[in-house]
Homo-oligomer: A and B are copies of this chain.
Amino acid sequence: MLTEKELKEYCAGARENYLAHISIDCVVFGFHEGLMKVLLLEVKDEGEWYLPGGFLLKKEPIEMAANRILKERTGLDEIFLQQFHVFGDPDRSKQHFDMYKDMIAPEENWFTNRFLTIGYYALVDFCETNPAPDQFAAKCSWRDLNDLPELKLDHALILKTALDTLRLQLNYQPIGYNLMPKEFTMPELQKLYETILDKKLDRRNFQRRMLGFSILTRSDQPRKGGAHKAPYLYSFDLENYKAALTEGFKGGW
């Protein structure tokens, strides 16, 4: 939590540098040990959580802002980002940053403005991230998707919408390149799909289908060391992967 002086400086700086009424919120998905993770920030000691977000510099492209914000929270560059919706209910930010309301006059308080927030979802490699809190949070950390805390504002809605969009996207786009390490086994990739969809899939059919997309390259070396039979290692064929991203899978009509 900021002191009164810090808050006033922040608000003055925000008004000078940021475009009014616009914010960006990011739903960052990661995948680790068979669980879907979401990156969240926690207000110190209050058990209040919210999505990584920020504002748009006056001359900054939107996507660049999202990248900047995520770079600050995760340390990562070149994240897979997808804009999915704008949330603009006039009341959505009513109780935002209520705790600061006695420190500053409402007309000076940046946060009492109405904000439309542009929702992005991001897919990142869990192991590569270095979560770092912003100035309003005590910590930034991964939370399990099926064990989420209560979220501030409409962030629960934003998260749910992101998840729905991601699940839909699965049907006509490859995903995984951004969530998996460079090399992985087919069962590991399957676990990712099962986790996102929250549903068990058939091993053999999954493999056939995946290979049918021709976006995977099988390595010569199987993964060794584990108990049981050594699985093959795969990596994404980036060229075909990107082609599939733009063209989509099932032609439909």
Contacts and interface: CB of A to CB of B under 8 A. Distances in A.
Given A60-B90, A62-B88, A88-B61, A253 B21 contact: no
A117 B22 CA distance: 11
A83 to B, nearest CB: 6
Contacts of A20: 20-21
A19 interface: yes
Contact of A90 (B59, B114, B252): B59
Given A21-B20, A22-B21, A171-B172, A118 B252 contact: no
A199 B89 CA distance: 39
A252 B170 contact: yes
A44 interface: no
16 contacts: A19-B21, A19-B116, A56-B88, A59-B90, A59-B114, A61-B90, A62-B86, A83-B86, A88-B118, A116-B118, A168-B248, A168-B252, A171-B250, A193-B253, A199-B253, A201-B253
A253 B167 CA distance: 9
A116 B60 CA distance: 11
A247 to B, nearest CB: 11
Interface of A: 19-22, 56, 58-62, 83, 85-86, 88-90, 114, 116, 118, 168, 170-172, 193, 197, 199, 201, 248, 250, 252-253
A41 to B, nearest CB: 23
Nearest to A196: B253
Contact of A19 (B56, B114, B201): B114
List the 9 closest A-B pairs by CB distance, nearest first: A171-B252, A62-B88, A59-B90, A19-B21, A20-B20, A197-B253, A86-B86, A86-B118, A61-B89
Contact of A116 (B62, B172, B197): B62
Contacts of A86: 62, 83, 86, 118
A193 B253 CA distance: 9
Given A168-B172, A171-B252, 8 more contacts: A19-B114, A20-B20, A21-B22, A56-B116, A59-B114, A83-B85, A116-B118, A199-B253
